[in-house]
Amino acid sequence: MNDCDPANSIPAVAPNPPTTGRPNAIRPPRQAVIRAPGLLPMLYTPSELAEALGLTAPTIRDWLGRGLPHERDDGGRLWINGRACAAWLEQARRPAQPRPMAAGEAYCFRCRRPVKPENPVCRINGKVTRWSGLCPACGTAVHRGARRG
């Protein structure tokens, strides 16, 4: 068996996914995560919600653009339901599901997906096999390693 054959030497594994891969991916501060379950089932203004979670109003407004459920009244004022905000924070803080990679693939951090590298080069150092190549979509260097035996 050829140790540098990507189909044989590199097993299919799941990479650590980036946190920015989801549409509303945020990393809420620990303080907000701890306080969120205590939000009441009432409507908050962005500044009231920020105070309740120990954040700033611009952070809450940024989250509105990332999918935080909200509504506007007839006067155009923003209102955020406390329970809906707590549920959104809980969903947003869960890690994304890993995407499995097939044998011979490497993860491109620029494209944020597994790719078959172009011009792969195999380096073996003891029990570690390391693959290097270029992403066919963007040309970024991609690497993948595997432990043998």
pTM given for the model: 0.51
Question: What is the domain range of residue 121?
Answer: 6-17+99-147
Please list the rounded mean pLDDT of every run of 10 residues in the chain (149 residues). Answer: 52 42 66 91 95 94 92 93 93 72 88 90 89 92 85
State the pLDDT at residue 13: 45
Chain length of the chain: 149
Q: Say yes or no: 73 and 55 in one domain.
A: yes
Q: How many domains does the chain have?
A: 2
Position 3 scores a pLDDT of: 54
Question: Where are the strands (E) in 48-140, listed by range?
Answer: 71-72, 78-81, 106-108, 113-115, 118-125, 128-134
User: What is the per-residue pLDDT for 95?
Assistant: 66
- pLDDT (0 to 100) of residue 20: 40
CB atoms within 10 A of CB 7: 9
The verdict on 137 and 103 lying in the same domain is yes
**Do 40 and 88 reside in the same domain of the chain?**
yes
Same domain, 27 and 85: yes
pLDDT at 147: 83
Is 73 found in the same domain as 24?
yes
Rounded Cα gap, residues 57 and 46, in angstroms: 6
Same domain? For 24 and 89 the reply is yes
